[in-house]
Amino acid sequence: MTLAWTVTAWPPVLWQAEPPPHKQLARRFVHLGTQITSIGRGPEPSTGQTIWGSRLKGGEAGLAWDWVDLGHGVVAMADPMGFVTNLHVVNARGDELPSLQVALHINEIVHELPWQAEVQLALQPLREGTLVGKRSHSSAG
């Protein structure tokens, strides 16, 4: 599995966010892997990372973020501002957007991805009591 935080070392890819085609872009991303980094004990939740990638005109783009298992089948981004990507989000003039605007666009993409289902697949052995150590799960072929 590709380690999530290596995305920052991938060559940069420019993405023009105006008009915002988040749904179309999200459909191009595929799940590269999900890893459980901490198995919850008692009140402490399980946590992990997930990574998604896409081939775009400018190269291979990646998105990765930490997630937390809130219980009862609910997983969430640990920090909606805490993602890593090699996407450089620009406006129609080619100017890079400020980090807050980038976060809004990236979160729109993340919202369209079926990432919670992939995390649930990684957590399934833990919930069934068959997970012994930390686990990685990848659906990319």
Domain assignment present for 74: yes
Compute φ and ψ for 38, nearest 5 degrees: -150, 125
Residues 114-119, mean pLDDT to the nearest whole number: 96
Return the higher-pLDDT residue of 114 and 21. Answer: 114
Nearest to 63 by CA among 18, 105, 110, 11: 110
CATH at residue 67: 3.10.450.610
Burial class (CB in 10 A: 0-12, 13-18, 19+), 61: buried
pLDDT band, very low/low/confident/very high, at 1 (cuts 50, 70, 90): low
Domain assignment present for 140: no
For residue 18, give its domain range.
Answer: 4-129
- Looking up tokens 């590269």 gives 32
Tens-place pLDDT, residues 15-61: 888 666 678 888 999 999 999 999 888 888 999 999 999 998 889 99
Domain assignment present for 139: no
Residues 115-123, mean pLDDT to the nearest whole number: 95
What's the domain count of the chain? Answer: 1
Return the higher-pLDDT residue of 18 and 107. Answer: 107
Domain assignment present for 91: yes
